[in-house]
Amino acid sequence: MPRPVHLDRRGFLALSSAVGVAGVLTACSRTEVGTGAPKEDAGLLGKLRDQGFVRVGFAGEAPYGFQDGGALAGEAPTLHREIFSALGVPELRPSLTEFGALIPGLLAGRFDVVSAGMSITPDRCGKVLFSEPEFVSTTALMVRRGNPRRLTDLASCARAGARVGVLTAAVEATYAKAAGVADGRVKTLAKQQDGLDALLAGRIDAFALTAISLRWLARTNKNAEVEVAEPFVPVVDGVKQWSAGGAVFRPGADSLRKAFDGELAKITGDPARFVRLVGRYGFTEREAPPRSLRTADLCEAGGGPA
């Protein structure tokens, strides 16, 4: 039987020949006594249509979901605004939240959807419902301009004894360890700008993150003496690892998620439209997820860092 897929951003995806394996997402849900209908699901989309807005949580992480001049911007809010508008809900009402507090905030009812490009992982799938994937991405290294140490991937960093910067709670630390980078050579950073600053200050030799994020970071620091090396696909235990993400809903919001996925498929199934919407944030046709990549398979896959 083909091997299933599994993935993460601040998590991870192993994309193999089994991408098309069928599966059914069975994230936990509570039901209305005597009906079998999920409590959360009853009339939720209708309620959002009636009130004219959906409450979304985001983490201030460019280019996935952030504030630009006071306006909500980024890949996830742009796609979600398009989708909810098509569903008859014209307004996104944002709540800025720490990344690690997004799922707790969702479960506590502080917002209806997480709009942050959050990675789909088996652990998270046991707590919440994910949409189908919104994007996929490779990994890359940001290095000093000219790439003086000729670093191309994490294995080359290990061979060179290079110091590698990674974000707190991000999967790149796992990738670095799998590639042979010594623990003492991996430096944890709080946010993306810290990675670029540490690189310029000589505290690290490379900053590892998704290619999408690093392209955006370089774009917003145009005069910085840095460059983004060619993207690569890390390998953990012999399996290629990709990054991907989706919208997040509370358990039981199945009908809302289904309606959302219907509109999302119209966008991701049309790469040109996908790029028209989110190309400004560094996304290309390569980041449009293939139809064969399904959240059910990603949720059922075993293991992976959170």
Residue by residue, what is the 3-state secondary structure of 257-291? HHHHHHHHHHHHCCHHHHHHHHHHHCCCHHHCCCC
173 CB neighbour count, 10 Å cutoff: 20
Contact 241, 233 (CB under 8 A): yes
Structure tokens given for 47: 């309620």
Average of per-residue pLDDT values in the chain: 85
- Report the C-alpha gap between 214 and 183 in whole angstroms: 23
Using DSSP, how many helices (H) and how many strands (E) does the chain show?
Answer: 11, 15
Contact 298, 23 (CB under 8 A): no
| pLDDT level of residue 239 (50, 70, 90 thresholds) | confident
Contact 127, 137 (CB under 8 A): no
- pLDDT of residue 43 exceeding 90: no
- pLDDT of residue 46 exceeding 70: yes
Structure tokens given for 301: 């896959």
- Report the C-alpha gap between 55 and 11 in whole angstroms: 25
Q: What is the pLDDT of residue 129?
A: 97
List, in order of start, the domains of the chain with CATH numbers.
44-136+242-292 (3.40.190.10), 139-240 (3.40.190.10)
Tell me what the mean pLDDT of segment 146-172 comes to. 95
- Report the C-alpha gap between 88 and 103 in whole angstroms: 25
| pLDDT level of residue 168 (50, 70, 90 thresholds) | confident
Residue with the two structure tokens 């039901």: 31
- Which amino acid is present at 241? Q
Q: Which of 144, 146, 206 is nearest to 181 (CA)?
A: 206
Contact 293, 5 (CB under 8 A): yes
Contact 305, 119 (CB under 8 A): no
Lowest mean pLDDT among 51-55, 88-92, 230-234: 230-234
pLDDT digits (tens, 9 = 90+) for 185-233: 999 999 899 999 999 999 999 999 989 989 999 999 999 999 999 999 8
* CB within 8 Å of 48: residues ≥ 6 apart: 54, 84, 87, 89, 112, 256
Task: Look at 37 and 254; give whichever has higher pLDDT.
Answer: 254
Residue with the two structure tokens 């809900």: 89
Q: What is the pLDDT of residue 39?
A: 53
Percent of the chain clearing pLDDT 90 (strictly above):
68
Tell me what the mean pLDDT of segment 29-49 comes to. 60
- Report the C-alpha gap between 175 and 240 in whole angstroms: 10
Largest CA distance in the chain: 67
Length of the chain: 306
Contact 55, 91 (CB under 8 A): no
- pLDDT of residue 2 exceeding 90: no
